[in-house]
Structure 1
């Protein structure tokens, strides 16, 4: 039996013993599991051996992200956000592309050897955010609901929106290195975007329709409907992978389609996929620490560290400030939204795709991504509780002076489970907004 399995089991059991106690500390679950992974790494105790664990870990990470993408997309209600709460639209429609553009330019300037498409790939891999690494930012009710909602929606959707860019930039980088014949990028575009999206659309819509009919006729209960949704996410991923497409795009589109067809009727059935994603992400951070972060730390360069810090600050915060200009938000709010853009599971898995692509520049790109995520785990985890507390105090004083403050506007209700659950930490809104878990 692989000792890595024992390491995972011990970490889960140990965290379960102190999880609620950690609510009131700056120590997040992501920090705990990443630290456990570093301790179990080949560089420290050798419990997790990349040669024995690597392939299985890659599959686990990819399936976890597929379930996360499906669950997040299924809960999305893009239409209401666009009309009732435009802040997520600003962050996703303008801030996200600009983040990739700024990251591309700085990456090309700092890493000359990876070429323009390698730099674009690096920027795209590091563009999505993950609210799980700074959970108090979106669960502390002292923070205005409009801002928590914007960060929550952004973190739930930007990984899916970045997927096509990662796929295309990876194909262009490989074609630039002549690792494939002419037109390779076009064939990838057709398979990964159009064919994979078609698989996801057909499977998600048909599957949700069948489940809704079955539920309405009393043929199936919530427990097995939950299992069916989990199977639907995995099936979309696997079918797209069989045609060398993008399983992630298929899973994300399947979630969107299922949500459009039966979001309300299958709302309660999402509990199992969300809980599976919760546990999967926790284990993923342990694997991240053992298989990716430990080697990255072992060979870290000052240039890689500098780019990581720029990615968490300038590359994120400047585009956010530009995206929110004209929104009438206070500078304190813009700084809060800009800083709390943690990098997490999506960046880890996307970097894993680069690591197995055969791209010559992967030896430069992957360590930079892993160092950036590692710094994000620590910096965003430590600053989330105090940052939310300080911003909440500022907001309370500001809204008392100016009740018409833009931040005081109401965001659309997200319901009991969406956006405060899945990989961002289980959250019980009906119990007064107390988080059930903090990774």
Structure 2
């Protein structure tokens, strides 16, 4: 464990030095940390030996997911959801549960898992990650409604998938351990803390007795997040639902706090995400990748190229979304950080199928990171009508336009 900090610092420095190149090419920072963890872990070099039951695994996963859900919630305040609910609403209301079900069917019939474990895998793999579609979301040549769709969907579906993960995990743990009343109370307390704490903090700052200075203003939302985390721990409320609700509440009632914290918060969340990806990579060994067998790899590929595309196609039937936009939305359903942490939570849960579930989730995420992070630039260029084209294509297009305008072709 002593090697974790220097390993993270070294890979982080390398990622910073390569970040400009990564923004222009298929190189992915997330893939860099995943591969680095794989190489440094027990299965290859053994420099960074990490076991699933190590305390750092659960602690880092918990903090990372809390930070990510908190910042995700800030991207999608109620105002944004009201303005752009139609297309994201289809993706979340139909696409998310359909992706869950199609993935579960694949896990049940291809791998032979029980239905509860299959539904658990479906819930873990249903959220999407905006990081791997960054080139698409940030490209102004991409239609705004597609960028808004992917951004809102990926910001919300982590939190929406969470209750499904918790319920299916509780059921998989056995009837003796299943207490739906306690689970409901845990989720309810999480929502209450996530809404009440930031609302009270923002209202307090607006009174005549208090005012945050410019230098300390970015720390306001950080303090709110830490207080939500502490109260969630003390009351046993669901931390992740509390984080997501807190982010939405800050975005809704504290626009100034949201803007001042945005860049700072994203950096904090990014550090936790990259550290968790490094640890996740270290838990993946050549033996694990080989142990899933051909059926596991077929499931992983089908989860990427069938489950999400089918769900998106059904979700957008009758919509005005163009074919290219639907194709891009269908492909960019990358399995990212939330799925990583949900997989780690299941691994540490002790359920009978924990190892098998984690293996299937792991190979699917590995395939997704490698495929999606290396194709976002290519798909973004698909929408770039101003990109350079061969001279012969330009002349041909000019002649076609000339005919359309009634001109005599040259």
TM-score range normalised by the length of the shorter chain: 0.7 to 0.9
Of residues 371, 384, 401, the one that matches 1:379 is 371
Q: CA deviation at 1:53?
A: 8.9
Q: Which SS does the other structure have where 1:267 is aligned?
A: helix
Q: Give a deviation string over 1:231-284, Cα, whole Å, max 9, x none.
A: 322332343244444210111112222222212454223332221112222222
Q: CA deviation at 1:285?
A: 1.8
The match for 1:206 is 200
Contact 1:195 1:245 in 2 (8 A): yes
Q: Which SS does the other structure have where 1:135 is aligned?
A: helix
The match for 2:75 is 75
Q: Give a deviation string over 1:29-82, Cα, whole Å, max 9, x none.
A: 111111111111111111211149932133122212111111221231344444
Change (3 A) 1:260 1:304: same
Contact 2:123 2:161 in 1 (8 A): yes
Q: 1:239 and 1:295 mapped to 2: Cα distance?
A: 41
Q: Which runs of 5+ in 1 are unaligned?
A: 402-439
The match for 1:257 is 249
Q: 1:124 and 1:376 mapped to 2: Cα distance?
A: 16
Q: Give a deviation string over 1:6-43, Cα, whole Å, max 9, x none.
A: 11111011122221123222111111111111111111
Of residues 277, 287, 290, the one that matches 1:285 is 277
Contact 2:77 2:249 in 1 (8 A): no
Of residues 300, 307, 321, the one that matches 2:313 is 321
Of residues 336, 340, 344, the one that matches 1:352 is 344
Runs (4 or more) in structure 1 with deviation over 4 Å come to 394-397
Contact 1:212 1:262 in 2 (8 A): no
The match for 2:406 is none
Aligned residues: 391
Q: 1:70 and 1:363 mapped to 2: Cα distance?
A: 29
Q: Does 1:31 align with 2:26?
A: no
Q: Which SS does the other structure have where 2:55 is aligned?
A: helix
Q: CA deviation at 1:386?
A: 0.9
Contact 1:227 1:273 in 2 (8 A): no
Q: Which SS does the other structure have where 2:165 is aligned?
A: helix
Q: Give a deviation string over 1:160-188, Cα, whole Å, max 9, x none.
A: 11111111111111124x4x2xx523322
Change (3 A) 1:328 1:251: same
Equivalence map 1:113-128=2 (5 Å): 114-128=113-127
Contact 2:127 2:158 in 1 (8 A): yes
Aligned CA RMSD, in angstroms, stands at: 2.6
Compute the TM-score of the two structures, normalised by the length of structure 1.
Answer: 0.82
Largest Rg, 1 or 2: 2
Compute the TM-score of the two structures, normalised by the length of structure 2.
Answer: 0.88
The match for 1:164 is 163
Q: 1:136 and 1:194 mapped to 2: Cα distance?
A: 37
Contact 2:74 2:258 in 1 (8 A): no
Contact 1:2 1:52 in 2 (8 A): no
Q: 1:330 and 1:33 mapped to 2: Cα distance?
A: 35
Q: CA deviation at 1:395?
A: 12
Q: 1:135 and 1:384 mapped to 2: Cα distance?
A: 7
Contact 1:2 1:53 in 2 (8 A): no
Q: Does 1:185 align with 2:209?
A: no
